[in-house]
Amino acid sequence: MFKFNNINAFKGISNQLVRKYSQSAKDATFVRDRTANPLNPSTWSHLNAAQVLDMYFQACSMKYLHPSLPVQKHLEYKDDVELEQLQRIAPEIGFDTNYLTTLYENGVLSEALTEVINESLADSREMTHVYSPGALKQFETIRNDRHYFRIKAHVLPLLVEKRVPYEHRSDEEYPLKFTFSNALNDKTSQMNASCKVEVAVKHLKLNEDIKHVVRLLAGKHYNIKNDTITISSGLFNTGVQNASYLKDKVQTLVQAAKDNLNEFKDIPLDAKSPEEIKTNKTRKDELLSLNNNFPKEWANPADHVEKRIDPRPLMKTYYEQMKHLERLQHTFSSE
């Protein structure tokens, strides 16, 4: 990683000349030459240092997106004329010519120029006025891709010496199987820390009585169909912590089975499989169905509730009778 502000450890770069070039770039007004072609370095001969660097960065992005080149072949793309133009401005920007040539041949010159020069140059001539935000984002994407292409080309081949053949671990030797969850699209998700352990009870190095008590104490975590115990945890922030917690839980379960062997070894195991255990929702649905389709002949007369009488007809009859009584009283009083 190249740093402009710190004392530079590379002998091929002069910090004093870099500062001098950056100061002159601040005083001068940057003007892009429209007659120069980024993919034709022979048209760069009349450009100054800032314009040559501008053409070079444009060429790097165009090579990356060139339709006739494979994705990472631009790392091997070299042009003698382009190198001559960069060597021409090397003393002015503070780079040794031989060191710049080495960087160019290794495919890391653009990164070196970006880290050493453009950090100060971008602020002086307002890169956001020269390049659009989309172009700056594309430059960052290209820089990241080139970084991983270099890892693929120079680092990954070295890992071949350390490869070992895959050996399948049998359940007899490793009865505990840990499963970790990973949300690749969200690094902050709590699911990344969750862990699940699956214990093959029949492969535990215990006698049959202790295994039987372990199955009893596991309760709902025991699957009689697969003869496994499944426990999950998300209490901690990392999967390693949750895995260590689950390992302690399994050890505690086995130790409890050993301590209570005499009390539980004669208790039979519930033979119901998980599919046969009905959920609360299913039981609720059955209860509603029973209430709606209960046989009438099974009904208890004592529990029968009479149908509620509607008071409106009775009130209407009452008022009619009261009016009739008032009329009779009026008739008799008039006589």
Supply the DSSP string of 190-201, one letter for each residue. Answer: GGGG-EEEEEEG
pLDDT of residue 250: 93
pLDDT of residue 105: 81
Sign of CA dihedral 68, 73, 74, 76: negative
DSSP assignment of 22-78: HHHHHHSPP---TT-BTTBGGGGTT--HHHHHHHHHHHHHHHHT-TTS-TTGGGG--
Q: How does pLDDT run across 187-233, given as a tens digit for each residue? A: 777 778 899 999 999 999 899 999 999 999 998 889 888 889 999 99
pLDDT of residue 156: 86
What's 176-264's CATH class?
A: alpha beta
Q: How does pLDDT run across 98-141, given as a tens digit for each residue? A: 888 888 887 777 777 777 665 555 444 444 456 778 888 888 89
- Statement: residue 288 has pLDDT above 80: no
pLDDT of residue 47: 86
| Per-residue pLDDT band at 167 (split at 50, 70, 90) | confident
Q: What's the whole-number mean pLDDT along residues 94-100?
A: 82
CB 212 within 8 A of CB 221: no
Q: How far apart are CA 318 and CA 312, in angstroms?
A: 10
Closest Cα partner for 86 from 65, 108, 66, 109?
Answer: 109
Q: How does pLDDT run across 30-67, given as a tens digit for each residue? A: 677 778 888 888 888 888 888 888 888 888 777 665 55
pLDDT of residue 304: 60
Element (H, E) at 101: helix 97-106
pLDDT of residue 109: 78
Tell which wins on pLDDT, 217 or 4: 217
Q: What's the whole-number mean pLDDT along residues 236-255?
A: 92
Question: What is the DSSP code (8-state) at residue 278?
Answer: P
Q: How far apart are CA 68 and CA 45, in angstroms?
A: 27
- Statement: residue 4 has pLDDT above 70: no
Q: How far apart are CA 101 and CA 84, in angstroms?
A: 9
The domain segmentation of the chain, as residue ranges, is 15-159, 176-264
pLDDT of residue 27: 56
pLDDT of residue 6: 39
Task: Please count the other Cβ atoms lying within 10 Å of the Cβ belonging to residue 139.
Answer: 19
> Cα 23 to the chain's mean position, in Å?
44
pLDDT of residue 124: 45
φ, ψ for residue 71, nearest 5 deg = -60, -45
Q: How high does pLDDT run on average in the chain?
A: 77
* Lowest mean pLDDT across 18-32, 133-147, 251-265, 320-334: 18-32
pLDDT of residue 25: 59
pLDDT of residue 228: 92
CB 48 within 8 A of CB 22: no
